[in-house]
Amino acid sequence: MTDDKATGHLEALAFLVSSFTDNGRSLRAFTNNPQELAITILTAGLLSNSKLMLQPEDAVKAAFDIHSRIQRHVGNFQQMTFASNIENCFNQPHPEIGEVEGD
């Protein structure tokens, strides 16, 4: 009896996943814009969290805010990494200038 019940739940879950993904079609295939994909994923995550109890409009606004904050932090990190790499570049000896023998 429990095997039949488990099979029914698995079939329902498989139907739900296949319906959401259009029978395995990637979510990336639905959107061409990476920002739109990020907002979609964030909105889905916010709506699926029952503790937040957000309305769809509020979830979309929050997703845009979260995405903006993430992009700002990523930009700052990339700038610091680039600046660090540039500083290290000037502190290293040039590979084309080797040590002169006899010095």
Give the integer Cα–Cα distance in Å for 38 and 58.
16
25 shares its domain with 52: no
37 shares its domain with 72: yes
**Residues 65, 20, 14: CA angle, nearest 5 degrees:** 135
18 shares its domain with 47: no
Contacts of residue 70, defined as CB under 8 A and 6 or more positions apart, other chains included, come to: 38
8 burial via Cβ count (<10 Å: 0-12, 13-18, 19+): exposed
Residue at 74 is within a domain = yes
By residue range, what is the domain housing residue 3?
1-29
Give the integer Cα–Cα distance in Å for 77 and 69.
12
Residue at 102 is within a domain = no
Residue at 96 is within a domain = no
Q: Which tokens go with 79?
A: 């700038």
pLDDT digits (tens, 9 = 90+) for 16-61: 777 766 666 777 777 788 899 899 889 989 998 989 999 999 999 9
Work out the pLDDT band at 7, boundaries 50, 70, 90.
confident
Residue at 82 is within a domain = yes
Residue at 48 is within a domain = yes
37 shares its domain with 52: yes
Is there a contact between 72 and 80 (Cβ–Cβ < 8 Å)? Answer: no
3-state secondary structure at position 89: helix
Total number of domains in the chain:
2
Q: Which tokens go with 31?
A: 């959107």
